[in-house]
Amino acid sequence: MVRRKNLIAANWKMHKTVSEAVGFVRELQKSVGTFDDREVLIAPPFTALLAVSKELSREDFFLGGQNCHWEEKGAYTGEVSVPMLKDVGCRYVIVGHSERRHIFKEDDEVINKKVRAAVKWGLVPILCVGEMLEEREAGKTFEIVSDQLEKGLKDVDLLDGRSVVIAYEPVWAIGTGRTATPEQAQEVHSFIREKLSGSYGKDIAHSVRILYGGSVKPSNVDDLMKEEDVDGLLVGGASLEVESFRRIIEYQQ
C-alpha cells in the first residue's frame, strides 16, 4: 500500500495578474520549510500558468489548472484542453468545483467527461464533491456525496491511487468563513474512502488523497489535518496571501 503524501492546494480562482502570481510564488518558495510528508499545488488563472510554471523551482511544488475541457482540441471558444495544461507544466486539474457546478451549471456528466479526459491525457484530476446547506440539514450529505462521486468517476479506471484526488468541499463552507468541524470532515472523508474501496479495492482507496476544502485558515488547519482521512486541503481565500498560505502549508499535526 502506497503511503499517502498530503497535498496542500491553492485555488486562486479569478485572482492575480501574471506579475502578482510570479512574485507570490517566488516569495512562497523561499519562505516555506521543506517537509517530506507533504506537497504544494498552485492553481493560478490560465493567464498566469506559464509564468508560474517557469518560476516553480522546488520539487515539492506543483502546478494545476482550475478547469479544463474534455476534448483534445477543436472549435470550443474560450476553452482550454488537458494537453494544453500539460504543455505548460501542469500536473493537476481541479474538476467539478462548486463554483463550476453552480455558477456555470456543470453537471455530473460534464464533470465525468473532464475527469476521464484528465486521466486519459495524464493529468491528475482533483474531483470536488460536497453538499449544500439545505442538503446537510435534510440529512442528505452522504447521499449527495455518494452520487457525485459515483457519477464523477463513472468509467474511470484507476491504475493506482495517485491517478485521482478527491476534494470534499461542503458548499456551505466555501468562502463563507464557516468551516466544517474536523469531526464533520473526517466523517465524510472516511465515507468517501469506503466508497472508493468498494469500487477500486482497499489498496487503491487507501492511497487516494482526500482533501478538505471550505474556509481553511491558519487558525483551523492544525485540527483539520489531525484527522486520519484528511490528506490535505484545497484552499481558496487564505491561499491568496503568502503568510497565511505559508502557515497553512506548515500545519502541525
Of all residues in this chain, which one has the CB nearest to ligand PEP in the complex? 236
Q: Is 97 a catalytic site residue?
A: yes
Exactly one of 41, 216, 221, 230 binds ligand PEP (CB under 6 A); which one? 216
Residue closer to ligand PEP by CB (options 7, 234) is: 234
- CA distances 200 to 18, 46, 135, Å, are 40, 33, 27
Catalytic residue among 131, 169, 189, 227: 169
Q: Is 169 a catalytic site residue?
A: yes
CA distance 186 to 192: 10
200 touches 155 (CB < 8 A): no
Write the interaction track for ligand PEP spanning residues 55-84; mark x where CB under 6 A is met and - where it is not.
Answer: ------------------------------
Known binding residues: 11-13, 175, 215, 236-237
Find how far residue 63's CA is from the centre of its chain: 12
| 236 binds ligand PEP, rule: CB under 6 A | yes
| 169 binds ligand PEP, rule: CB under 6 A | yes
Q: Rounded to the nearest whole angstrom, what is the least distance from the CB of residue 130 to ligand PEP in the complex?
A: 9
Report the amino acid identity of residue 35. Answer: F
β-sheet bridge partners, residue 62 = 41
Q: Rounded to the nearest whole angstrom, what is the least distance from the CB of residue 241 to ligand PEP in the complex?
A: 12
| 170 binds ligand PEP, rule: CB under 6 A | no
Give the number of residues in contact with ligand PEP, rule: CB under 6 A.
14
123 touches 156 (CB < 8 A): no
Known binding residues for substrate: 11-13, 175, 215, 236-237
| 7 binds ligand PEP, rule: CB under 6 A | no
| 235 binds ligand PEP, rule: CB under 6 A | yes
Q: Rounded to the nearest whole angstrom, what is the least distance from the CB of residue 240 to ligand PEP in the complex?
A: 9
Q: Rounded to the nearest whole angstrom, what is the least distance from the CB of residue 159 to ligand PEP in the complex?
A: 27
Exactly one of 213, 229, 247, 249 binds ligand PEP (CB under 6 A); which one? 213
Which residues participate in catalysis according to the annotation?
97, 169
